[in-house]
Amino acid sequence: MASRSRVSIVIPCFNYARFLGAAIDSALAQPGVDLEVIVADNWSTDGSVDLARRRAATDDRIRVTTQPYNKPYLQNYNEALASTTGEFVTVLDADDLLSPGSITRSVALLQACGDLAFVYGYCRPFEGVPPEPRLGRTRWTVWDGTEWLGRFMRMGRNVILSPEVLLRRSILEAAGGFDTGFPTGADMLLWLRCAALGGVGRIDGPDQALYRIHESNMHYEESSGQLLDDLRSRAHVFEHFLEHDAPPLPEIDRWRADYRRALAGYAMRNAHEAFDRGTEAERRVGAESAALAKECLPGIVNQRRWKRLMRRRGGDHSRWNRRIAVTTRTIRHRGATLLRRRLER
């Protein structure tokens, strides 16, 4: 790093006392920066506040804020972020962890490239005991904001889990923070808005953060119904961004076509898998997923994959093909975390 920068790490918490201590430890362990750690408790009742205050009493880098009642989580985020004093800021949910040196690597890239709005990297999902973060040689990739937005639209999904992001506070303020009108897509909308204001950098190589998967996760979906809701949320975010926030560029129409094509593909896949499960509820999800695919890409009804889907919907699907489909889903699920390493070409 060229100089020692001040970094604010906001740790929102609601009844996560069992995870909070580890999150604070991972934040405080970041070397080479002037740290401000804000534990933003949202009216926890499990001892989270007492734990945070005990830690703050022994380390003046920690500050604790509390809410008088359980507010919408994005409001708690925004209020904590508004109180930060760092040049760079990040949100680390109380159940997640930063990897050693994560903040240092991100600050170095933001200092080296002054036109970057934010930096992210690979966030490794895990269940149970946190794994040892994979470290090693650090490389980075830098995109112009417009180029990164185009890649994001082609991907059609949020490739960022959140704890691996470090933003310039000035960019965060210009983007307006988390939009409370998008409770299930505010993070994705924020990345899009920030990329419209500057370039984007990615740390390649080491794990930048660890994302904990557990029964209370807000953003981790597996069922076909939850995925359908997520697809609808993505469509809403993409369209809102292109209508209200995207810079006036000739790429807008192509971006709209790209995200709709990608979402149609995800919706078709979800419909196939829902029909394979065969229950009445899953068949309804399959029908709604197919309708979403058709809405995103009307011409899909003329494609062979649509006709295959309609045959599957009608029950024309052999037991052998269903077994293949189940195996394919299993392989796809195991490989899903690898897709978060990079934007698709």
Question: Residues 158-193: pLDDT tens digits?
Answer: 999 999 999 999 999 999 999 999 999 999 999 999
Indicate whether 219 belongs to any domain: no
Counting Cα atoms < 13 Å in the Cβ hemisphere of 260 gives 17
Residue 286's Cβ-count burial label (10 Å; 0-12, 13-18, 19+) is buried
Please check whether residue 1 lies inside any domain of the structure.
Answer: no
Round to whole Å and give the CA distance between 32 and 1: 8
pLDDT tens digits, 215-268 = 877 544 468 999 999 999 999 999 999 999 999 999 999 999 999 999 999 999
Tens of pLDDT, residue by residue over 281-297, are 999 999 999 999 999 99
**Rounded to an integer, what distance in angstroms lies between the CA atom of residue 295 and that of residue 264?**
8
Find, among 188, 181, 183, 182, the residue nearest to 162 by Cα: 188
> Same structural domain for residues 108 and 128?
yes
182 & 236 share domain: no
What is the pLDDT at residue 216?
A: 76
Same domain, residue pair 25 and 163: yes
Q: Are residues 146 and 92 in the same domain?
A: yes
How many folded domains does the chain comprise? 2
Of 250, 263, 265, 269, residue with least CA distance to 150: 250
Statement to judge: residues 163 and 52 lie in one domain: yes
Asked if residue 40 and residue 145 are part of one domain, the reply reads: yes
User: Domain range holding 135?
Assistant: 6-212
| pLDDT recorded at residue 2 | 86
Element (H, E) at 229: helix 224-240
Provide the pLDDT for residue 176.
98
For residue 329, is pLDDT > 90? no
Residues 234 and 206 grouped into a single domain: no
Structure tokens at 84: 């930060």
One domain, residues 281 and 238? yes
Residue ending a domain, among 187, 212, 237, is: 212
